[in-house]
Amino acid sequence: MVDVGDCRRAGVGAFRLARQEGGWQTVAPPMALQDNVLLSTLATAVLKKSDFDFCLPHELIAQAPLPERSASRMLQLDVAAQSRQDRLFRDLPQILRPGDLLVFNDTRVLPARLHGRKESGGAVEILIERVTGAHEATVQLGVSKKPKEGGRIELADGSHAVVLGRDEGFFRLRFESPESLEKLLLKLGEMPLPPYIERHADASDMERYQTVFAREPGAVAAPTAGLHFDEAILGRLRRRGVEFGYITLHVGAGTFQPVRVNNLEDHHMHSEWLNVGAKLIGQIRRARAHGGRVIAVGTTVVRALESASKDGEMHPFAGETQIFIFPGYRFSSIDGLLTNFHLPQSTLLMLVSALAGREFILESYRHAVEQRYRFFSYGDAMLIMADGMAADQRM
């Protein structure tokens, strides 16, 4: 059992992630006002980011995946009954019903971290935020002194990246290589492991920090709920009669940015590109018509589906989203969510709290800490059933 009081006194509670000169560090949360981009129906008491804190011992942050993708544990929440059950991820096929629809994010993670040197010789870490052209990208730079417009960064193969300008915390770079940027990344890049994984990426991460159904390149962070699925589990789900659908949302490095304001209504959500196609809309309508449930695999799927919803109806949509979901928001697209365990005070924790209730989620997170669940990208899973009992509890 974890002594929460000891955890608090030891100062291992609300881990914050912020980008410092020279790289990423785990630090105390900064405070700074930002412009507001908000999509919520909250109209009651103002929520603060401090309302989403919980105690997390550092040793529960998974630093590597388990030997088998589907070997994770899974905490199942029944929102209607306000109950929870400790399970295994491999139980998922018996929990879901024939006719349910699992919606996956099929984005593919690029090896988006590069290393280079400024003309002065100083080391530079380049983290691609978004590829904007065949040879251009918006990036974050880890460097002791920020380069000026026109500055050149030499890469490991002798080619150069030129600084075109700066947009707030990001830089625009042009890569002077005969190869496309995507091919250059495949040759020189490293998998962009999250800042709370305190090791360098290795060859195994090229496979394991990627879902088995990834097909649309463009993400710089994995849709981590999908990492639990292997071909054996997918086969069992198909035989069970569970349907599969797909959206694409290219996860950006902004997903790791901390909430820098205490009042949630002042938080500015980063923008991400998504595509919800007509085929998936048809699948959702058919599933609902036959009594099936729509289960999102990951918070990126929730954000995509809700962005494609208007007045309770879903429509095909491709474009940018800055949707920010926190308690008070009314969901219209999903009946359940499979997700990982999220950082304290993060927008992802706020999203799952909107679905299941803040107090119930925080109680469940305390339970997960006490039961030594593994947290974050390479950690264990949580299944939130918004409509009540699972199939194997109805017998």
Quickly count: other Cβ atoms within 10 Å of residue 390's Cβ: 20
What is the enclosing helix (H) or strand (E) of 122?
Answer: none
Q: In whole numbers, what is the pLDDT of the chain averaged over residues?
A: 88
Structure tokens at 97: 């019903």
**Residue 29: per-residue pLDDT:** 30
What is the enclosing helix (H) or strand (E) of 353?
Answer: helix 347-356
**283 contacts 333 by C-beta, under 8 angstroms:** no
322 CA to centre of own chain: 14
What CA–CA distance (Å, rounded) separates 199 from 192?
11
Task: State yes or no: pLDDT of 33 exceeds 50.
Answer: no
**153 contacts 145 by C-beta, under 8 angstroms:** no
Task: State yes or no: pLDDT of 116 exceeds 80.
Answer: yes
What is the enclosing helix (H) or strand (E) of 40?
Answer: none
Beta strands 152-155 and 136-142, pairing class: unpaired
**171 contacts 165 by C-beta, under 8 angstroms:** yes
How confident is the model over 282-328, as pLDDT tens digits?
999 999 999 999 999 999 999 999 999 988 899 999 999 999 999 99
Give the residue-averaged pLDDT of 168-191. Answer: 94
Quickly count: other Cβ atoms within 10 Å of residue 308's Cβ: 24
What CA–CA distance (Å, rounded) separates 108 from 383?
23
**Residue 98: per-residue pLDDT:** 98
φ/ψ (deg, to 5) at 353: -70, -30
What CA–CA distance (Å, rounded) separates 24 from 27?
9
* Beta-carbon contacts of residue 164 (< 8 Å; ≥ 6 apart): 136, 149, 171, 172, 173, 174
* Beta-carbon contacts of residue 238 (< 8 Å; ≥ 6 apart): 244
Task: State yes or no: pLDDT of 338 exceeds 80.
Answer: yes
Decide which of 142 and 25 is more confident: 142
* Beta-carbon contacts of residue 78 (< 8 Å; ≥ 6 apart): 84, 85, 385, 388, 389, 390
Structure tokens at 373: 């669940």
Give the residue-averaged pLDDT of 47-65. Answer: 96
Q: Give exposure, 165-180, as e/b (b: 16+ Cβ within 10 Å).
A: eeeeebbbbbbebebe
- Per DSSP, the three-state class of 173 is strand
Beta strands 309-310 and 313-314, pairing class: antiparallel
**30 contacts 17 by C-beta, under 8 angstroms:** no
How confident is the model over 221-278, as pLDDT tens digits?
999 999 999 999 999 999 999 999 999 999 987 777 789 898 998 888 888 999 999 9
Q: What distances in angstroms separate CA 330 from CA 103, 281, 339, one per listed residue?
A: 19, 19, 19
What CA–CA distance (Å, rounded) separates 77 from 382?
7
- Per DSSP, the three-state class of 148 is coil
